Amino acid sequence: MSRIHLLSPQLANQIAAGEVVERPASVVKELLENSLDAGATKIDVDVEQGGIKLIRLRDNGGGIEKGDLALALSRHATSKILQLEDLEAVASLGFRGEALASISSVARLTLTSRTKDQEAAWQVRAEGRDMEAVLEPAAHPRGTTVEVRDLFFNTPARRKFMKKDQTEFRHLEEVIKRMALSRFDVSFNLQHNGRRVQQLRPVDSEQARERRLASLLGGSFIEQAVHLDVSAEASGLRLWGWIGLPTYSRSQADQQYFFVNGRIIRDKVVTHAVRQAYSDVLFHGRHPAFVLYLELDPALVDVNVHPTKHEVRFRESRLVHDFIFRTLHRVIGDLRPKDAVPAGAGESAGDGAGAPSMAMQSSPGSVSGGGTFSQGRMPLYQSSGSYQSPGSYQSSGNYQPGQSPGNYGSYGGAAGSASAVRDQISAYADLHTPAAPAQGLQNVGRPGMPMPEDDAEKAPPLGYAIAQLHGVYVLAQNEVGLVLVDMHAAHERIVYERMKTAWDEDRVRSQPLLVPVSLSVSEREADLAEEQPELFERLGFRLERMGADTLTVREVPVSLAKADAPQLVRDVLADLVVFGSSRRIEESINELLGTMACHGAVRANRQLSIPEMNALLRDMEATERSGQCNHGRPTWTQLSMHELDKLFLRGQ
C-alpha cells in the first residue's frame, strides 16, 4: 500500500457525490430543498432525457450574493448553520453544504442568481475535474437558476448504471410530487423534453389542498380518505393529514407519504406505528395509503443520520410512536357507515354524484384503477347444518318492538363480562377446536331495535333491510340507493369488538407456571425487562433476571397458557429495543378473540328475519371499524341510484 496522503478536493467531492447524487432525481431533490430554504414560492423545473442531459431549476427565492456564488460550490459551505447549537435543532431542509459541490464534480453546472438588493445578476460555472468557478455577469430576475448538464459525463462507470430516460424521469417526477405534497403554498411547474407535465398552483384552503392531492395521487384517494388534525399540547406534537379508508388499500406501499417538519422521511418507528393502527382492519398482504404531517420541536428530532436525509432519529421515539398509533387507531375506530354515506346524497343521486363505496364489487383480490381492494365471495359458505350455535335462531314470527326477535343471541351473541371472555379464551386455547368457544358464549346481545318511522331526517346511514339474498347478503335501502351487507363479516366484527371491550374492562389475569421457563436474551434486552417490570405485569407476565443474559418466566396470561411464552417475551423485548413499545401480547389475545368471533358469528345460509337484519344494520352503525371484518374484508358496499340507473341505461 502507498503512504497516507490527503485526497484531492475534486476526488473528495466525487466520493461525496456518490452518497448525495445517485441519479437525476437526487439532483432535483437537493436543488428543490435549496430553493424552498431560500423562501421560493414558485419553482420551475425543466428536464431533458429524464434529467441526464439537462436539469434546469428556476426559483423566485432570496437569491445568492455575488461574493458568495463561488463559495457556494465549495464543500461544507452553507448559510443554514453557524454553530453546534444550530445543528441540534435544524429547521431547514438542507444544511450540510455538500449538494452543489457534489453535483458540480460530476456534471457541468451553471449557477445564476440575483438578490433584491443587486442591480444585476451574476453567474458562476464549474465543470467536473476543473472545479474552478468562473464568475461573470448575467441577465436574470430576482431568484436563482441552477442548470445541470451532462450528468456523470466524467464518471462513465456511474453513467452506465443509469436506466432508460422514462424510468429516470419517473423517479424525478416522484421527487416533485413529494415536494408538492410537503409545501402546498408553493407553485411547482415541471417540463420534460419541452412538454408540460405538471402545473401546480399554490393553495391555502383545505378544499384546494385536497384538489392538489387528487391531481397527484388520483381522485379515488381523496374520495376514500379521512382528514385528521390532532395536537398533543403536553408533548408539543401535532399530526395532521389524510389517511385512506381501510378498504382503500394497495398491493404495494406506493402511496405512503410521511413528513416531519416538512421533510419527507422513511422511518421504521413511524411505519410500525401506522401498521399497528391498521392491523385490525387490513386484508393480509395489503398496505394502507396516507399523507401525514408530523410537527414537533426541531430539537426533538435528529435529521443528520443519513447521507440523503431520508431517515431521522426521534429523541423520544416511544412518545412519537405511541402518539401516532393512538391517533390513527382512534380515527380508524371512530369511522362509521355515516362517514362513508354522504349526507343528502338522495337529492343528488340523479346528477351523477355517486356515493363513495366501501368496497367495489369485482373479482376477488383485484385492484381497480383507484387502487380499492375488492372482495370477492367469502370462503365461508356452508350449509347451516355444518355449524349449529347453541342459541340458534328459530323464527317465531312474534317479534315485538323493543324485544328480542326470537332468540336474538344467535345474531348478537357476545360475551358481556371480562371473566366470561377470559374463560372462553382459555377453553378455546386448551381445546383448539372451532366449536368450543361457541358452546359457552353468553347470549346477552342487545334487544332488537324496531324500525323507525319512514322519516328522511331520521333515516339511518345503512337504511332499512328489505330482503336476504341466498342466506348470505342483506339487502337494504337508504337515501342513496342500495346497500349490500355480508352478514357474517359484519356480525363477526360486531362480536369481536364487544369481546375486546369486555376483555379490556378487567386486568389481564395471570397464572404461575408449575415449572418456570428460562430463556437467553441479549444484555440490553435483559436490562429492559429489569427496568420495566410493570409493563410485563400489565401484560400478564412476571419475569425475573437470573443472570446477565438470562430471564426466567414465572407467570403468563391465562389466555396464553398454551402459547409459546418464551417466544412472546423475546418478540416483546425485540419491539422494545427497536420501537420503544410493543403490542405483541395484545395482538395475540386479539387473535384468539378474532378466531372466537369468527366461529361465533352468524353463518351463511342462516335465515334472518327483517327485524334481525335491521338490528344488524343498527349495530354496524354503532360499532367501531364495522366497515371491515376481523380479517380486513369489506362488510358492506353502496350502490347509488345513479349507478343502478347506469346499469339499466335509464335516462340515456
pLDDT at 563: 67
Cell numbers 413528513: residue: 259
- Count of helices and strands (H, E) across the chain: 22, 24
pLDDT at 421: 56
Q: For domain 512-585, which architecture applies? A: 2-Layer Sandwich (3.30)
**Is 3 exposed, middle or buried, given 0-12, 13-18 or 19+ CB atoms closer than 10 A?**
exposed
| Beta strand spans in 409-505 (E) | 464-469, 473-477, 481-486
pLDDT at 532: 77
Q: How far apart are CA 619 and CA 621, in angstroms?
A: 5
Please tell me whether residue 229 adopts helix, strand or coil conformation: strand
Domain spans of the chain, in order of start: 9-195, 206-335, 512-585
pLDDT at 495: 81
CATH class of 9-195: alpha beta
In single-letter form, the type of residue at position 518 comes to S
**The pTM is what?**
0.70
Q: What's the 3-state SS for 86-145?
A: HHCCCCCCCCCCCHHHHHHHCCEEEEEEECCCCCCEEEEEEECCCCCCEEEEECCCCEEE
> Which residues, 6 or more positions from 109, have their beta carbon under 8 angstroms from its beta carbon?
73, 100, 103, 125, 126, 127, 146, 147, 148, 149
Q: How far apart are CA 354 and CA 639, in angstroms?
A: 8
Cell numbers 346528477: residue: 351
**Is 401 exposed, middle or buried, given 0-12, 13-18 or 19+ CB atoms closer than 10 A?**
exposed
Please say whether the beta carbons of 613 and 468 come within 8 A: yes
Low-confidence stretches of the chain (pLDDT beneath 50): 343-410, 412-416, 431-451, 454-456
pLDDT at 539: 67
pLDDT at 128: 67
| Three cell numbers written together for 98 | 455538500
Q: How far apart are CA 567 and CA 588, in angstroms?
A: 12
**Is 485 exposed, middle or buried, given 0-12, 13-18 or 19+ CB atoms closer than 10 A?**
buried
**Is 608 exposed, middle or buried, given 0-12, 13-18 or 19+ CB atoms closer than 10 A?**
buried
Q: For domain 206-335, which architecture applies? A: 2-Layer Sandwich (3.30)
* 206-335 shares its CATH topology with 512-585: no
Question: What b-and-e string marks burial along 431-466, b requiring 16 or more CB atoms within 10 Å of the CB?
Answer: eeeeebbbeebbbbbeebbbbeeeeeeebbbbbbbe
